[in-house]
Amino acid sequence: MTPRTRTRTPGIRSLLFAYRGTIMPVILRRVLYAVALSLVVAVLDLKYGWFSGGLNATPLTLMGLTLAIFLGFRNQVAYQRWWEARNLWGELVTVGRDLARQVTAFLPRASAAERATLIGMVIAFAHALRHHLRDTDPAPELSTWLAPRLADEALAAPNRPAFLVHRLGVALADASRAEGSDPILLASIDSKVSQLSHVLAGCERISNTPIPFSYILLLHRSVHVYCFFLPFCLVGVMGWFTPVVVAILAYTFFGLDALGDQIEDPFDVMPNDLPLDVYTTNIQADLMALLKQG
């Protein structure tokens, strides 16, 4: 099954009150802080006249427009990274299926154990890539899908996915030569192994090239300053509705800021990151099904 996320149009209740899986758990404290501040400002101004109708809203309007443009640009860049990562994992699905098909179709004299070993190396690569991007331990999966000696060698390698690509290429080349395959067919199989290297390099480039910290820090500070001054500028116009308006605006700006943080690193385990565990599980199931059919 191709890894994809099935979506359905949410109802009004889900749109208004959904909490799990949204950005709200991340920004709830910040939104509540902004609302609490707006309540204090509203009481002090409307009841005691402390701020004489609030501040001039013109600078805040200009700042809000500029901030929205920068947030939109940053989130667009973050989404491009997320989408490119999704395409790379989609390519991994295709390459994995092609390799499994080639192993079963072009190596007819290979034993069932030899085919299982080759396809197991492809599955192990998917698991190793997931752990490599998240800096976690792949030992359980590699021990399951690789021979003990090969698993130990892979775990000792500095770059485990790259090591598995190398060993897979060597193993497929040896099996093709033993089969007496045509050199053109061997080149076709090798091109699929090269695509695994392409996927690995693309994922590493995204993971190792974050958005510059100074740019992110500027956005974080600007969003917090903007939301801090909101109630002072709105209280003269909105009156007792100031906390409501501040809550909506704070949710929007804090939410966009936090969402960009999450999808900037699409390989993490945040709710809006790529579900790599699901992808590797589906790759594993697809390749095992192809092996049984072969």
For 40, what's the count of Cα atoms within 13 Å in the CB-facing half-sphere?
9
pLDDT at 1: 41
Comparing C-alpha atoms, which of 76, 92, 60 is closest to residue 197?
Answer: 92
Give the C-alpha separation, 230 to 248, whole Å. 11
Give the C-alpha separation, 159 to 178, whole Å. 29
Comparing C-alpha atoms, which of 77, 65, 42, 33 is closest to residue 224?
Answer: 33
Average per-residue pLDDT for the chain? 87
Per-residue pLDDT tens over the stretch 70-112: 888 889 999 999 999 999 999 999 999 999 998 888 888 888 8
Q: What is the mean pLDDT of residues 151-175?
A: 94
Tell me the chain's radius of gyration from C-alpha atoms: 27
Both tokens assigned to 248:
């909506």
Both tokens assigned to 203:
């994922």
Say yes or no to pLDDT of 5 above 50.
no
pLDDT at 4: 47
Say yes or no to pLDDT of 50 above 90.
no
Give the C-alpha separation, 82 to 63, whole Å. 28
**Where do the domains of the chain lie?**
25-81+211-264, 87-209+276-293
Percent of the chain exceeding pLDDT 70 equals: 91
Q: What is the mean pLDDT of residues 146-167?
A: 95
264 CB-near residues (< 8 Å, 6+ apart)? 78, 81, 210, 211
287 in Cβ contact with 97 (< 8 Å):
yes
